[in-house]
Amino acid sequence: MWEPAPRHTAFAGRVSHDTVREGHGGRRGIFSSNDFDAGAVIRPARTHGGLVLTAFGRAFKTPDLRKKLLFTFLIIVVYRLGAHVPTPGVSYKAVQECMVGADSTQGFLGLANLFSGGALLQLSIFALGIMPYITASIIIQLLTVVIPRFEALKKEGQAGQTKMTQYTRYLTIGLAILQSSTLITFAQNPSQLFGNPNCTQILTDNSVVTILIMVLTMTAGTGLIMWLGELVTDRGVGNGMSILIFTSIAAGFPGSLWAIQQRDGRWDIFFGVILMGFLIIALVVFVEQSQRRIPVQYAKRMVGRRVYGGTSTYIPMKVNMAGVIPVIFAASLIALPALAAQFAVKPDGTGPAWATWVQTYFVRGDHPLYMVAYTLLILFFTFFYVSITFNPTEVADNMKKYGGFIPGIRAGRPTAEYLQYVLTRITVPGAIYLALISLIPLIALVLVGANQNFPFGGTSILIIVGVGLETVKQIESQLQQRHYEGFLR
């Protein structure tokens, strides 16, 4: 499941509530003392290959789980249908003609088009896709560090989280209005939107009333997507927003792969890319499941006649703690100069010198300068995002409050310094891993002529693998609750 922010601070001395079970002494913990190896540095979580198809069959044999799966598939179908319904005031025929020579892979518009499953450039009712919600979630997460009110709400538990979700919805609608207005402004000059000089007109009417209807329709489409995502979360399987993002990206896989085959007509390159894709997926799964387990022990304490504590657990610190957020940040930021240059260049191709320089080096991803800048941005945002989402001082204080300590490390400040030391060391390979995965589409652009939305790399593969793993784990847990074997045995 893709999340806008990893909730590592949920440990808070009482351990994360995601996979807790009863430990020794009546205290709730993640695993018993035999489940971790204090000498391990980085290792993948223990998963064993199972008969996935058999588990799916058992899932469909369970009545309530079958209803959840079918409901999720129904929402996915509705979401994909909405991606092809044109917005009022848009000529569907003209859009399809402009799409023939369109360059839908460059910059921020390419990223937004990827997350909308191709609906953005088709100007459908779901043109904005899930992008406004992703942006709003990231902004609220960052503001939590800056605004004390948000930080207080974060500590209030479920009630505070509900309030934060409400703020995210309001901000999503505001961003949807802003982004739809910007998209319609681009649509009035479609040659810039599609990168196709032969595309001159796609709107049937440029009146104010029609434009307002288009803005209202796209904004309502974003609200409907939010509602569909929440329905999947409540009544379906997995995280609804993550499932919709997964659907949007997966919808572009066949077209991207077929474009590679059509470029030279060589089947050996086509199957070679697929084989390489499976190897990349295996690598991503291995790294995403890898974690550094820091052992934690709790001292025994008497409360009345009962003894609490005395358990041994661990703090799981993933190699890729930042998830896909640094890649999104870097792709959005590096696309801003190209976007500004696009407005500065005149229709006849002339423009200022800086705009020409930007279009030469920062529009296509095959230039070494672009790759270096992109890599440095990913490295920076990885460290930045991890630093604001995992607070070693807060974790150390909560451990001390509940009587927890790391063996060989004194509680309090020494624990915080040790956690910061481990965090820095583990973030370095995580940042390098993100940079290498993100460079795969750019390298494929040079070698096989693929576009920057190359399916087996960058944001695409990170989200696909992350959402797939979390969804399978959730189905597995529900199967195990009904005394069936799960996917991972």
pLDDT in tens, 20-48: 333 333 333 333 333 334 334 444 444 44
| CB-count burial class (<10 Å; 0-12, 13-18, 19+) for 121 | buried
Give the DSSP H/E element, type plus range, for residue 151.
helix 148-154
Q: How many CB atoms lie within 10 A of CB 207?
A: 11
The CATH superfamily holding the domain 1-82+253-489 is: SecY subunit domain (1.10.3370.10)
Question: What integer pLDDT is reported at residue 21 of this predicted model?
Answer: 35
Rounded to two decimals, the pTM is: 0.73
Q: Where in the chain is the domain with CATH 1.10.3370.10?
A: 1-82+253-489, 89-249
DSSP string, 319-380: SS-STTHHHHHHHHHHHHHHHHHHHHS-TTS---HHHHHHHHHSSSTTSHHHHHHHHHHHHH
Span 130-152, average pLDDT: 86
Class for domain 89-249, per CATH? mainly alpha
Interval 408-420: pLDDT, tens: 888 888 899 999 9
DSSP string, 372-411: HHHHHHHHHHHHHHHHHH--HHHHHHHHHHTTEE-TTS-T
Judge whether residue 450 has pLDDT over 50. yes
Q: State how far the Cα of 105 lies from the Cα of 102, in Å rounded to an integer.
A: 9
Judge whether residue 173 has pLDDT over 90. yes
Residue indicated by tokens 């921020």: 108
Nearest to 473 by CA among 42, 32, 45: 45
Give me the residues paired with residue 312 across strands.
297
Judge whether residue 120 has pLDDT over 80. no
Q: State how far the Cα of 11 lies from the Cα of 62, in Å rounded to an integer.
A: 33
Interval 455-478: pLDDT, tens: 676 778 888 888 888 888 888 887
Q: Which tokens hold the place of 76? A: 């996915």
Question: What integer pLDDT is reported at residue 327 of this predicted model?
Answer: 85
Q: State how far the Cα of 399 lies from the Cα of 409, in Å rounded to an integer.
A: 12
What's the mean per-residue pLDDT of the chain? 77
